[in-house]
A and B are shown apart, each in its own frame.
Chain A
Amino acid sequence: MENLIEQMPKMLVGQELEKAMLSLPVYEPAICKADAGARLMALDAMTEIYVPSAMSYEIYSKIYLAMLHSLKKKQTKDAVMQGNQNHKRLQSMGYHSVLGGSDSFSIIGPSGIGKSTALAKSIALSGGEQLIVIKEPYAQIIPCINVQCPHDCSVKGLLLAILSQVDMATGTGYEKLAVKNRASIDNLIGMVSQVALNNILLIVIDECQNICRNKGGVNLVASMTQLINSSGVSICLVGLPETEMFFGQEMQLARRSVGLSYSALPCNDYFIQFCETLFSYQYVAHPSKLTPELIELLYECTGGIIAILVSVIMETQQIAILTGKEELNRETILMAYKERLKNVQDFVKVIPKKRNQTSSVVKKEVMDIQKEVHDDKADVDIQATTVIKQSRGCGEDAVKLLKEEGFLVEEVSV
């Protein structure tokens, strides 16, 4: 067992981890003097930029510890007993679980915040595709298998995809064998359970939101539950926030989807640092400085979504170069936002800047607050509670009434 753990890369923390995750392409300031074509081509380097955040570190530690936990279960007595139980189920001889399914977790967050990138980086630093080969027993252990949840929530599709990934990594022929034998779903689950028990540390299932969008999703979740229970392997479910609602329906699903949940970035130090990093990669003829106003503008345009932020900067620079404006400023940013990012505008929700708050508040709707001055001084002393009582009595909207009375109203989502 000690030999197995030694074969995993060392766990990184702190600056070491940050340095390992940080990815900054090479930038030559002289590029600003090159011709437009060269600058447009060089602009593509911005897609390689990755600055790790707290989310990245959390995902890395979760991934690494899940792999380690799975590795510790390999070649134990319980694993042997579980293998025998899986075989008995394949032979329709009864079954009872030995290892249990406590090692599944989720990474949920909106699209574009960097989940998949952070995941890929974490997996690469935790061993990635480097097989752990042991001689006795003979086994080729794959640190991580990354599959996508099928669009039609096909159980067979998912299981065959897992086997296919294993075959590609180890050179085995499990998928071919399963297809040749026309294995049923139950047999496939048994087969994948055995393969996962012996050869896989972590299975990452991406795009789990497909489960919510398809009527076969319930079936798929049930099969995944069965797989988790009988393989003892760690399973990571990655998906959009709607996945959270789906898993919240039942206790056994909720238990198996305990994990990390993220939202778009607030306008915090990390966001500012990231903007500064992006601004250090300017390919326009007249590089400009990043000002607080630009930061606020960028935040309002992107809603804290890192992917959109990178796209905005890239598109802005493209427009600046193509139109000849050659400058990153408010004008070019708004031009890029309005012309190139029309489709994302409806999905961007701006989070207000944090003011000494311990928890982040998601603003559902930004209301245009107008201060109304009432001439009638007697109405100044009307309390909010009175208005609310009145609204209840009339059955009217309390917010509307309060505004009419001159109260400053701010709606928040809890």
Chain B
Amino acid sequence: MTGFVPSIYPDELVYSWFCRYYVHSGYTASKTALEDLLYNRHCNPSKEFIGHMNTEMEQVIKGMYPIDELVLEHTMFPQYARFIECTKKKDALYRLGNDFCDAHLLFTILPRSEEDKYLKYCPLCVTDDRKQYGEAYWHRKHQIRNMNVCNKHKCRLAISTIPAKSEQSFTLDPAEIVVQDVMVRPAVNSLEIEFASYMEQIFETPMDFENDIAIDTILYYGLKGTKYMSSTGKTRNTQILADDMQRYYREIGLNKVASMYQIQRTLLGSRSDFSVVCQIAFYLGVSVENLLYPSFSEKQILSVQETRCSKEETPEDWEQYDEDMMPILEKVAHDIYYGNINDTGRPERVSERLVYKLTGIPNHRFDNMPKCCRILSRYKESYAQNWARRLVWAYQKLKSENGDKPVFWCDIREISGVKKKNADVILPLLEQYADKTTANAIKSLIIPANVIENP
């Protein structure tokens, strides 16, 4: 049974609250305090969330504050859940507060940059806290990734020696014991201050569990009209955007600027990292209100979805898909090879591009379809081979249509599309596709008699 649990301060991390519990309860070691806090000693608590508490402590905590309030106002939940889907948001909120689920199972938590590896604090906030409460504590908003400035005092945050990760050697390190008197460094870069303020506003705004407009839709309309999107809206110049953002944020001195891949994934809707979204939105000039409370019509939302291939069309079972496509591919390849796709009946070369076009299969899928690849390889031929086949077909066609009339090169050229300049590579292959008489007849049409007699 716990005898004393202090009150939680405004904007205090739950981890910091537990540290102060450890201080004021008279424990000699943080390990002993953790044994009283945790479900069992193998549970790793979290510095950014709550962790798996034991039943007794859970009852005491829930008796003091509603668990949802703790998660929303005293953990880093707004950072990780701000831009995810509403259903996932609600599920994460419930599971963090009631099942004490590991946050890694609920959100994408990216690796930290060097500057974000340790807990941060503002020296002036420490002074204010000591004056008001008698002790310092870890503020939540100072731990936002890429946050380097205290918006209240407009000074740079100091970096402590306490790891921000919830690693195996987890200890309770109270801010009052850890923070040292450091020189206050005012923030001079106005853009840096503005960006920090922007992130803080987004972080602190109450979470919206109803509005389910995806972040990529919001950013799409942020890109629209800029040089980073074509006028049709179907093409994004992500590389240029990434390069410009790199230059822009390097000037500010941001710890970790979003990479091209991260920007791309975010714009396509498959990622929604808080820092990346803030960087893109701030760079594009999207206001906080538009970012958090967008209003788009159904038509506008659908038009964004039409600009990209939906991930839902990707087959889930490639083996089955490969198996199903084999007969279709066989027929298409056969038709191409033997000229059934043309009105004239001219045989074509079986290429992947032509197969994708005729079958409607999205590009590059054959990389995952080995059986279909084997079918294609059976119809594989070089350009020379194809030209030779065409010449034979053209000669035989004209012969059958003209009867006894002579066949001229210009007629063969017209229907086969083969040029005389490639004769060197074609002539040796003619006998693979026709008998000797036909081959010689074609040769005589391509090469004048005096050249044949004197090769």
Chain A residues packing against B (C-beta within 8 Å)? 76-81, 83-84, 86-88, 90-91, 93, 135-140, 166, 170-174, 177, 181, 183, 187, 190-195, 197-199
Which of B3, B65, B133, B177 interacts with A91 by CB under 8 Å?
B177
Residue contact A135 to B3, C-beta cutoff 8 Å: no
Residue contact B4 to A80, C-beta cutoff 8 Å: no
Which of A78, A171, A173, A177 interacts with B134 by CB under 8 Å?
A78
Q: In chain B, residues 161-190, which have Cβ atoms closer than 8 Å to a Cβ of chain A?
A: 174, 176-177
Residue contact B63 to A192, C-beta cutoff 8 Å: no
Q: Which 5 A-B residue pairs are closest in the complex by CB-CB distance? A: A194-B26, A80-B134, A77-B134, A171-B1, A191-B26
Chain B residues packing against A (C-beta within 8 Å)? 1-7, 23-29, 32, 60, 63-65, 132-135, 174, 176-177
Chain A residues, CB < 8 A from B1: 170-173
Query: Given contacts A87-B177, A174-B26, are A135 and B4 in contact (CB under 8 A)?
Result: no
Question: How far apart are the CA atoms of A84 and B178 in the complex, in Å?
Answer: 12
Residue contact A170 to B3, C-beta cutoff 8 Å: yes
Minimum CB–CB distance for A212 against chain B, Å: 31
Minimum CB–CB distance for A183 against chain B, Å: 7
Question: How far apart are the CA atoms of A83 and B134 in the complex, in Å?
Answer: 10
Residue contact A77 to B133, C-beta cutoff 8 Å: yes
Q: Which of B23, B24, B29, B65 has the most CB of A within 10 A?
A: B24
CB-based nearest A residue for B60: A138
Question: How far apart are the CA atoms of A375 and B23 in the complex, in Å?
Answer: 87
Residue contact B135 to A198, C-beta cutoff 8 Å: no
Question: How far apart are the CA atoms of A173 and B6 in the complex, in Å?
Answer: 18
Minimum CB–CB distance for A90 against chain B, Å: 6
Question: How far apart are the CA atoms of A174 and B1 in the complex, in Å?
Answer: 10
Chain A residues, CB < 8 A from B132: 77
Residue contact B24 to A198, C-beta cutoff 8 Å: yes
Chain A residues, CB < 8 A from B3: 139-140, 166, 170, 172, 174, 195, 198-199
Residue contact B24 to A194, C-beta cutoff 8 Å: yes
Residue contact B64 to A90, C-beta cutoff 8 Å: no
Chain B residues, CB < 8 A from A177: 27, 32
Chain A residues, CB < 8 A from B23: 83-84, 87
Query: Given contacts A84-B176, A138-B5, are A183 and B28 in contact (CB under 8 A)?
Result: yes
Question: How far apart are the CA atoms of A170 and B133 in the complex, in Å?
Answer: 27
Question: How far apart are the CA atoms of A79 and B20 in the complex, in Å?
Answer: 13
Minimum CB–CB distance for A29 against chain B, Å: 51
CB-based nearest A residue for B65: A136
Minimum CB–CB distance for A123 against chain B, Å: 20
CB-based nearest B residue for A142: B3
Minimum CB–CB distance for B22 against chain A, Å: 8
Minimum CB–CB distance for A412 against chain B, Å: 53
Q: Which of B3, B4, B27, B176 has the most CB of A within 10 A?
A: B3
Residue contact B4 to A198, C-beta cutoff 8 Å: yes
Residue contact A137 to B134, C-beta cutoff 8 Å: no
Question: How far apart are the CA atoms of A393 and B29 in the complex, in Å?
Answer: 74
Query: Given contacts A136-B7, A170-B1, are A81 and B134 in contact (CB under 8 A)?
Result: yes
Residue contact A190 to B26, C-beta cutoff 8 Å: yes
CB-based nearest A residue for B22: A87
Question: How far apart are the CA atoms of A137 and B21 in the complex, in Å?
Answer: 10
Residue contact B2 to A187, C-beta cutoff 8 Å: no
Which of A138, A166, A172 interacts with B64 by CB under 8 Å?
A138
Which of B2, B4, B6, B135 interacts with A81 by CB under 8 Å?
B135
Residue contact B28 to A181, C-beta cutoff 8 Å: yes
Chain A residues, CB < 8 A from B2: 138, 172
Question: How far apart are the CA atoms of A76 and B4 in the complex, in Å?
Answer: 15
Chain B residues, CB < 8 A from A93: 177
Chain A residues, CB < 8 A from B28: 90, 181, 183, 187, 190-191
CB-based nearest B residue for A172: B3
Minimum CB–CB distance for A206 against chain B, Å: 24
Residue contact A192 to B5, C-beta cutoff 8 Å: no
CB-based nearest A residue for B35: A177
Query: Given contacts A87-B24, A181-B28, are A199 and B64 in contact (CB under 8 A)?
Result: no
Can you show 12 pairs from A to B with CB atoms below 8 A apart? Answer: A76-B134, A79-B134, A80-B24, A80-B133, A84-B135, A87-B24, A87-B177, A170-B1, A172-B1, A172-B3, A190-B28, A195-B26
Minimum CB–CB distance for A332 against chain B, Å: 55
Chain A residues, CB < 8 A from B135: 80-81, 84
Question: How far apart are the CA atoms of A199 and B1 in the complex, in Å?
Answer: 13
Question: How far apart are the CA atoms of A62 and B319 in the complex, in Å?
Answer: 88
CB-based nearest B residue for A198: B4
Minimum CB–CB distance for A232 against chain B, Å: 13
Question: How far apart are the CA atoms of A205 and B350 in the complex, in Å?
Answer: 101
CB-based nearest A residue for B61: A138
Minimum CB–CB distance for B41 against chain A, Å: 14
Chain B residues, CB < 8 A from A87: 23-24, 174, 177
Question: How far apart are the CA atoms of A91 and B171 in the complex, in Å?
Answer: 14
Residue contact A193 to B177, C-beta cutoff 8 Å: no
Residue contact B63 to A138, C-beta cutoff 8 Å: yes
Minimum CB–CB distance for B18 against chain A, Å: 13
Chain B residues, CB < 8 A from A170: 1, 3
Q: Which of B27, B63, B135 has the most CB of A within 10 A?
A: B27
Question: How far apart are the CA atoms of A93 and B32 in the complex, in Å?
Answer: 19
Chain B residues, CB < 8 A from A191: 26-28
Residue contact A88 to B177, C-beta cutoff 8 Å: yes
Question: How far apart are the CA atoms of A194 and B20 in the complex, in Å?
Answer: 12
Question: How far apart are the CA atoms of A86 and B7 in the complex, in Å?
Answer: 19
Chain B residues, CB < 8 A from A86: 26
Question: How far apart are the CA atoms of A173 and B3 in the complex, in Å?
Answer: 9
Which of B7, B65, B134 interacts with A84 by CB under 8 Å?
B134
Chain B residues, CB < 8 A from A136: 7, 64-65
Question: How far apart are the CA atoms of A197 and B135 in the complex, in Å?
Answer: 16
Question: How far apart are the CA atoms of A87 and B7 in the complex, in Å?
Answer: 18
Interface contacts beyond A138-B64, A194-B25: sample of 17 additional A-B pairs, CB < 8 Å, sorted by A = A76-B134, A79-B134, A83-B24, A93-B177, A135-B63, A135-B64, A138-B63, A171-B1, A172-B2, A172-B3, A174-B26, A177-B32, A190-B26, A191-B26, A191-B28, A198-B4, A198-B24
Query: Given contacts A83-B24, A84-B134, A194-B24, are A137 and B177 in contact (CB under 8 A)?
Result: no
Question: How far apart are the CA atoms of A191 and B28 in the complex, in Å?
Answer: 8
Question: How far apart are the CA atoms of A348 and B354 in the complex, in Å?
Answer: 124
Question: How far apart are the CA atoms of A372 and B60 in the complex, in Å?
Answer: 84
Residue contact A181 to B7, C-beta cutoff 8 Å: no
Question: How far apart are the CA atoms of A76 and B135 in the complex, in Å?
Answer: 11
CB-based nearest B residue for A93: B177
Q: Which of B1, B23, B65, B174 has the most CB of A within 10 A?
A: B23
Chain B residues, CB < 8 A from A172: 1-3
Question: How far apart are the CA atoms of A190 and B5 in the complex, in Å?
Answer: 17
Question: How far apart are the CA atoms of A79 and B4 in the complex, in Å?
Answer: 13
Chain B residues, CB < 8 A from A91: 177
Query: Given contacts A78-B134, A170-B1, are A137 and B26 in contact (CB under 8 A)?
Result: no
CB-based nearest B residue for A139: B4
Question: How far apart are the CA atoms of A79 and B133 in the complex, in Å?
Answer: 10
CB-based nearest A residue for B4: A198
CB-based nearest B residue for A170: B3
Chain A residues, CB < 8 A from B177: 84, 87-88, 91, 93
